[in-house]
Every structure is written in C-alpha cells, then in structure tokens.
Amino acid sequence: MKGKRVYTRNLCVKTIVLLSMAVMALALFPGTLLGRDLDAVKQDGVLRHLGIPYANFITGSGDGMDVELMKLFAKHLGVKYEFVKTDWSEIFGDLTGKTVKPKGDDIEITGSVPVKGDVAASGITVLPWRQKIVDFSLPTFPNQVWLVARADSPVKPIKSSNNISRDIAAVKKFIAGQPLLGKASTCLEPSLYGLEKITDRISLFEGSLNEMAPAIINGKSDLTLLDVPDALVALQKWPGKIKIIGPVSEMQDMAVAFSQDSPELRKEFNKFLNKSKKDGSYFRIVKKYYHFVPNYYPEFFRKKS
C-alpha cells in the first residue's frame, strides 16, 4: 500500500516536472513546441526547411532536388528560405516537437524537443510509422528498397518474374543467414521489411546514407539495403563495383513531411506541387538532379503529371 502511494507520488512529481518544463519552454521559446502553420510562416516571413545531406536530394553544397523545390515553395509563399540541417534520428522531432521511436509500423513518443523547422524534405520515404507522426504531401518521387551486393559477391542478381512479391521473396532467400548492412530510423531499416527474422547478421550503419555503397565496396559487408535513387547514383559513381540483387520492398513514395499541426501549409504545398508539375518547373528540377529517374520510372512521372 505504501509502495503504491510512493509510486503515485513519483508519477505526480514526474508529471509536474514535465509540465513545468513544457510551460517554461513555451515561455522561453513561444511557438517552438508546436509546428507552425501557413499563417505563422507567412507572418514570420521565413520557411524553415529541415534536411539531411543525402544523395541528390540535398547534396550538402547548398543545392539538391529538395532544396530547389523548397526554395520555389518559399518563393510561392512569398517568404524567405532557410535551410536547417538535421539528422535522420532527429528530423521528425525537429519537425513535430516530439521525439519518437519506431516500433514496426507503430511509434512510441519518447519526449519533446523544440521545433526547428516547418517542412522536412530530404528524400523521405512514406512509411507507415512515419505517417503516425507527420503528414505527408503528395508523392514527389518514386522509391523502392533494393538489396545491393559487392560485384564479387557470390550472391547473384535475381531474374525478374514480373511479379514484385515473388521477386521480393526470391531476394529474401539470398539474405538468409548473410551479413546485411542497414540504417536505423530510415527506410533502410531491415526490420521494416522483416529481414531481422531471416538473418541475425544485421549491422546498422553509423555513417550517412551516402556512405553505404562505398561501405560495401570497402568490404564492410557483402550485402546492403539501398533505396533506388541512392542505388542508381551509386551505379553511376561506382560502375562495375556493385550489383543490384533485387527488391526487398514494394514500390514506395517519397514525399515532403509536415507537422500534423500544419494542415494548411501542407495543403498549400500540394497546390504548389500541382502547379509546378503543370508549368514544368518540377520536371526541370527532377531532370537536373535525377535525369535518369523519369526514364527509369516513366509510369510514376506520367501518372503524377
């Protein structure tokens, strides 16, 4: 009985402390615990773009497909553009103010952090757990996760059966018991595709997504997961050094993430995206950074246009 009282008291204290911290944070940084919506962005005169240097979405040299798209969106809103560099483990916290831990297709909210940006665009794949914490725009880019091997690996690429589920099953057979490189909190997390049940030799890469292809070329692992844009860039950068074994996921979409507190901003972005698809500016940007992708996924670009 005494123990139950102590537990209740501790819980109350914890709640009070958390609430006090939240009130203090709200007082010190007004508006930073909630995502800003369209009016607030316009009133503040700046659109904060959360991004991580990754493939040709954000090159790290001040440009990239998502950088140009967000700059155009800021221009569309009539506000200034500001890039806020973040990390895959922090990006959704920086956008929503809540830190989360993915658990399969679900999430666990682990705490609060200050909101640092209004939109997150960095080649972000739409995943079920992510949809629980953020709202996504209309798809901006096609994606799929592939299994990639070093060229001299004994694992042989599959022959397509023209059935994606059968192809995925064929690829998963190769993974069984093999060392596999993935990356936590991204679309390359092996558990998203149930790969942890097939092999217990999974290692999660600590470096950036851009370094995963060089990692297997350098012998860090025989196999790795790579998303299509990254894999295609890697094939161009290191021809003959890597090979694509086959898919581990169905076709996915990449999109711009918004805080669930910013429905109007998301709506405005979708309007802007449709307009830029019509006037050709979206395709100019895609062609500039991924000129081979429209040819590779013509259906996506035909359908979306």
Position among 225, 245, 254, 256 found at the interface with another protein (CB under 8 A):
245
Contact 50, 116 (CB under 8 A): yes
Position among 146, 174, 193, 301 found at the interface with another protein (CB under 8 A):
146
Q: Does 232 bind another protein (CB under 8 A)?
A: yes
Least distance from another protein to the Cβ atom of residue 220, Å: 19
| Residue 78 or 154 having the CB closest to another protein | 154
Rg of the chain taking only CA atoms, in angstroms: 21
Contact 201, 179 (CB under 8 A): yes
Least distance from another protein to the Cβ atom of residue 91, Å: 28
| Strand bridging mode 46-51 / 119-120 | parallel
Q: Does 295 bind another protein (CB under 8 A)?
A: yes
Q: Does 163 bind another protein (CB under 8 A)?
A: no
Q: Does 154 bind another protein (CB under 8 A)?
A: no
CA distances, 69 to each of 58, 120, 186, 281, 286 (Å): 11, 12, 21, 9, 9
| Residue 15 or 163 having the CB closest to another protein | 163
Residues 6+ apart with CB under 8 A from 27: none
Residues 6+ apart with CB under 8 A from 88: 52, 183, 184, 185, 186, 209
Position among 133, 231, 254, 273 found at the interface with another protein (CB under 8 A):
231
Contact 103, 92 (CB under 8 A): no
| Residue 134 or 216 having the CB closest to another protein | 216
Q: Does 285 bind another protein (CB under 8 A)?
A: no
Q: Does 174 bind another protein (CB under 8 A)?
A: no
Query: CB-based burial of residue 2 (10 Å sphere; 0-12 exposed, 13-18 middle, 19+ buried)?
Result: exposed
* Cβ neighbours around 193 below 10 Å, total: 23
Least distance from another protein to the Cβ atom of residue 209, Å: 18
Which spans of this chain sit near another protein (rule: CB under 8 A)?
146, 151, 156-160, 162, 167, 231-232, 235-236, 239-240, 243-247, 291-292, 295-296
